[in-house]
Each structure stands twice: as structure tokens, then as C-alpha cells.
Structure 1
Amino acid sequence: MKRNIAIIMGGYSSEYQISILSGQNVFKHLDRSRFNPYRVLISTEKWVCLDDRDAEYPVDRSDFTTTIQGKKIKFHCVFNAIHGTPGEDGLMQAYFELLGIPQTSCDYYQAALTFNKRDLLSVLKPYGIRTAVSYYLNAGDTIEEDKILEKVGLPCFVKANRAGSSFGITKVMKKEELLRGIEHAFKEDEQIIIESFLDGTEVSVGVITYKGETLVLPITEIVSENDFFDYEAKYQGKSQEITPARISADEKSRVEETARLAYEVLGMKGYSRSEFILIDGVPHMLEMNTTPGLTEQSILPQQARAAGISLSDLFASAVDEALKQN
């Protein structure tokens, strides 16, 4: 029997449009011989299922079903393609767990933890995973510029603590730019993290559960034309993404070991993509994404192709793993 798969996309954050592109790509490649894929658009205004002509059918939030042309559709599994809230911070994961519907991403606790950059890095530090020096601020805190810069130095990065796609990030080169960077980050989140600048090679690596096994994908080297891997670099062609990365065998081994360790320590499942800066061969973790971009151009699909995994197989495996654990 073919399984009905709801591909959720959209969300409530600045990553809404990027999520739509990811969801559409999953819909395009999900194997029709095994699955009946449905696009489900989640937004602050509505939850709707789209048919092939983009007609909208309301989703009943009490049981996550929809009725199309008089027929009630129940979903056997949810493919989570929402970047940011509510798909990457644990809210949708908890909702589907309550309903007993399997979904492809990690569980709600892991999603909430990894979405919070400062909590994630704090949890991983005792396992020997290196990070930047950081300073935390919450909305309403007194901002002591000298104290901040004494700890993290210049240049530094000011980041929204719970945001993706480089929204809310500023590279601060001099003290006069710090307040502006903090104000910019607070537009995205009421928590921010200020980190020391790590001068090294930036790499990104996917770790996934594939056909029942934890698999570390080929590493991607990030070479940005801008000051850092910002929104323009990620989505508007202002960077080179080189897979496999031009790093030594020893550096490759260290990144793979660190990424696998983080995945397993956290009890992850589904997809993850972690970002590191290599300094003197030592990986320093920046963050982990648990619903990474899934467009044709996104990093994790690039890495899957380099590993010889088609997008059809990549997406089908995620559904199979979710169904297995139900």
C-alpha cells in the first residue's frame, strides 16, 4: 500500500520562502511508486494542503487530516521541510508526537536544543568539541560594550541565537559597529550570542541516518565572496561551495569524527548539517541545523550527490526511517 506523506513547508520565520523551495523539491523527487506526496503549507495565517493546481484545502489541526473533494486524507508520515519555527525548534515535532504521526526530523527536545545555538554549544563543550569564545545577551539586559569586547575581541560576530539562513548576523569590525549589530540581531530574536572571530577554513558537513546507519556525508568547503557566509553568499551566488572540501586527510577525519560525535551524543535522527571553522586542523563548531536546505543547490543535497545518493533515495530513506520508528 502506498503511504500518504505530508510535506510540510513554509513556517513562521524569515526562512519561509526558502522552506517553500525545499518542500517543493522534496515533492518533486519523492518516489511516486511508493508514496503519495502532498504539499502542506504552514503559515501564521493558515494550514492548508495544496493539490496539483495549487487549490487549497484546510488542514484539521485536531488530527492533522484534510478533506479533498469529499475524501478525508490521513497521513502516514510527515516530511519536515520547515526551516526555523515551528519546524526546526521542536514545536511541530512535539505536535506530531502527541498525534502519533511519525515525522522525518529529530525529536522535539533535540530540535529545541539545537535551534538554540548557545544551549547547543554549552551541551557539547564537555565532550571536547571546540567553539568560539562567546558572550550572551537577552532583551532588556544592560549592554556593556567594553566588557563584551574584552571577552570576545574584534572582529566579532553578533548573531540572533535562534534563527537560520544567516538572518540577524553582523560581523563587527570596530567598537562603533557593535550596538548596531546588537539591534539588528534583536530584530530576529530576543536572545543573542556574540562570538569571537575564528580565522580559518569554513566547512559544512551533513550527518544523516541513511538506511538504518549513521552516515557522515562528504564535507563542503565554504568560500564566501562577502565578509562571511551570509544570506547573499548562501542564496544569491556570492560563494563557492566546494565538495569535497580541499582539506587534508587528517582535517577530514577530525571533522567527520566531531560531526558524528555531536550527532550521536545528542541522540539525533534524520538530517543534520553542522558548520565548523578549522583552525590549525582543529574543528570549532558554529551550529547545527536539523532541517537543512533541501533545494537542488542546497549543501546537504550536494553532499548526498557526491556520496552517490540520489535525491529520490535521500528523501525516501528519511521517510522509511521515520515509519520504522513509529
Structure 2
Amino acid sequence: MKKNIAIIMGGYSSEYDISIKSGKVVQKFLDSSKYNAFPIKITQKKWVYVDSNNTEFAVDKSDFTISPNGDKIHFDCVFNAIHGTPGEDGLLQAYFELLGLPHTSCNHYQAALTFNKRDLLSALKPYGVPCATSYFLNKGDAVDEVQIVKKVGLPCFVKANKAGSSYGISKVYKKEEIKSAIDKAFTEDSEIIIESSLEGTEVSVGVITYEGKIAVLPITEIVSENDFFDYEAKYLGKSQEITPARISEIQQNKVTQLAEFIYKTLGLKGYTRSEFIFIGDEPYLLEVNTTPGLTEESILPQQANTAGISLEQLFSSAIEEALR
């Protein structure tokens, strides 16, 4: 008997449109001989199943079921394609775990931890994971540009602490630009992180659980046409994404081992994509994404393709792992 799979997409953040694209790709490539796909759009106003006629049916939040024809449909598994809140920060993971409903992403604590850049770096610091020097600010804190520059130097990056797809991020070259960059970051989150700029080769490393085993996918080198890997570079073609990356064997071994170590140490599951910058041969961690983009052009699917894994196989494995 085919399994009923809810594909959740949308969300509450600036990443809504990107998530919709990811969800539609999952729906397109899901193995129809094994699974019945039900696209579920989640917004702050409503949670709805959207059928092939674009008719919407409300989701019963008490048990996450739908009743499009009067008969209640229960789901065997949820495929999480939401980037940002509430699909990447642990909120929906906790909800599904309370319902006892399998889902394809990591557990709620790990999702919350990795989505919060400050907490992620703090959790990994005792393990000696290299990362940039950072300075933290909350909304309402006094801004001391002199102290910021003294700690992180120039240029530096000003980022929203809990946001994805490079929303709210700025690269700052002058002390006088810091305040406007901080104001921009605060439009995305009430907490921000200011980091020293690391200059070197940037790579993205996908680590997934595939057919029951942890697998590190071929590494992607990021070459941005812009000043850094910002929204335009990620989604509007302003970058080259080269898989496999043009790095040395020493660099490849080091970043592969570190990415897998982070995956295991944090107790991650499902798909992850971690970003690093090499300083010499040493990989410095930038961030960990636990619901990475899943469009055909996205980095993780590119890496899977290079590894000989089709999107159908990639998505099926995620579901089977969740059901395991």
C-alpha cells in the first residue's frame, strides 16, 4: 500500500517563495509508485492542502490531517521543505514529534540549535571547530562601533542571528557603515551576529543519511560574482557553483571529516548543508543548514547528482529513513 506523504512548504519567513519552489520539486520527483503526495502550504494565516485544481482544504492542526472529500486522511510521513521558521527552527519538528508523526528533518532541539548561529557556534566551540571571531547584539543594545571594530576588525559581516538565504546580511568595510548594516539585520531578527571576514575558498558540504548510512556528498566550491555569497549569488545566477570543488586532497579530507564530525556530534538527521571557508588548508565553519534548498538548481541536489543519486532516490531515502 502506498504511503501518504505531506510535503510542507511556505513558512513564515522571507524564504517563503524559495520554500514553495523546493516543495514543488519534491512533489514532482516523489516516486508515485510508492507515495501519495499531498502539498501542504503553511503560512501564518492558514495551513492548507492544495489539490490539483488549486482548491484549498484546511489542515486540522489537532492531528495534522485533512478531509478533502469528507474522509479524513492521515499521513505516514511529513517531508519538510520549509526554509526558515517554523520548519527549520524546531517549531514544526516539536509539533510533529508530539503527534508521533515521522518527518524528514532533524529533531526539534537540533533544528533550533543550528538555526541559531550564536548557539551553534557556542555548542561547537568546546570541540575546537574553527570559526570567525564574533560579536553579538540584541535589539535595543547600545551600538559601540569602536568596540565592534576592535573585536572583529574590518571588513566584517553583519548578519541576522536566525535567518537564511542571506537575508539581512551586509559586508561592511567602514566603521561608519556598521549602524546601517545593523539596522538592516534587525529587520530579519531581534538578535544579530557580527563576524570577522574570512578570505579564502568557500565551499558547501552536504551531509545526509542515505540508505541508512551517513554520507558526505561531493563538495561544492562557491565562486560569487558579488562581494560575497549573497541572495543574488545564491538565487539569481550571480555565482558559479563548481562540483566537485577545486581543492587539494588535504583540504577535501579535512572538510569532509569536519562536516561529518559536526553531523554526528550534534546528532543531526536527514539532509544538511554546511558552509566553510578555507584559511590555508583549515576549514572554518560559517553555518549549518538543516532544510537546504531542494530545487533542481540547488546545491544539495547538484551534489547528489554528482554522487549518482537522482532526486527520486534522494527523496525516497529521506522518507524511508524517517519511517525507519
TM range (shorter): over 0.9
Q: Distance in 2 between matches of 1:247 and 1:124?
A: 25
- Show structure 1 runs of 4+ deviating over 3 A: none
Residue 237 (structure 1) aligned with residue 237 (structure 2):
yes
Q: Distance in 2 between matches of 1:90 and 1:58?
A: 22
Within-5 A mapping of 1:1-326: 1-324=1-324
1:21 aligns to what SS in structure 2? helix
Q: Distance in 1 between matches of 2:122 and 2:306?
A: 32
Q: Distance in 1 between matches of 2:5 and 2:321?
A: 13
2:237 aligns to what SS in structure 1? coil
**Of 185-194 and 47-56, the range deviating more from structure 2:** 47-56
Aligned amino acid, residue 315 of structure 2: F
2:258 aligns to what SS in structure 1? helix
Q: Distance in 2 between matches of 1:98 and 1:126?
A: 31
Q: CA deviation at 1:70?
A: 1.9
Q: Distance in 1 between matches of 2:318 and 2:300?
A: 13
Structure 1, unpaired ranges of 5+:
none
Aligned amino acid, residue 4 of structure 1: N
Q: Distance in 2 between matches of 1:182 and 1:140?
A: 11
Q: Distance in 1 between matches of 2:207 and 2:153?
A: 32
2:262 aligns to what SS in structure 1? helix
Q: CA deviation at 1:68?
A: 1.1
2:59 aligns to what SS in structure 1? strand
Cα deviation digits, residues 276-320 of structure 1 (max 9, x gap) = 000101000000000000000000000000000000000000000
Q: Distance in 2 between matches of 1:5 and 1:246?
A: 38
Cα deviation digits, residues 126-149 of structure 1 (max 9, x gap) = 112100000000111111110010
Q: Distance in 2 between matches of 1:190 and 1:56?
A: 34
1:154 aligns to what SS in structure 2? coil
Q: Distance in 1 between matches of 2:123 and 2:221?
A: 26
Q: CA deviation at 1:181?
A: 0.4
> Percent identical across equivalent pairs?
68
Q: Distance in 1 between matches of 2:312 and 2:10?
A: 21
Q: Distance in 2 between matches of 1:32 and 1:52?
A: 15
Q: CA deviation at 1:51?
A: 0.8
Q: CA deviation at 1:71?
A: 2.1
Count of equivalent residues: 324
Q: Distance in 2 between matches of 1:20 and 1:45?
A: 16
Structure 2, unpaired ranges of 5+:
none
Cα deviation digits, residues 137-196 of structure 1 (max 9, x gap) = 011111111001000000000000000000010000111110000000000000000000
Q: CA deviation at 1:210?
A: 0.4
Aligned amino acid, residue 19 of structure 2: S
**Of 125-134 and 150-159, the range deviating more from structure 2:** 125-134
1:182 aligns to what SS in structure 2? helix
1:244 aligns to what SS in structure 2? coil
Q: Distance in 2 between matches of 1:59 and 1:119?
A: 33
Q: Distance in 2 between matches of 1:221 and 1:173?
A: 25
Aligned amino acid, residue 239 of structure 1: S
CA RMSD of aligned residues (A): 0.5
2:283 aligns to what SS in structure 1? strand
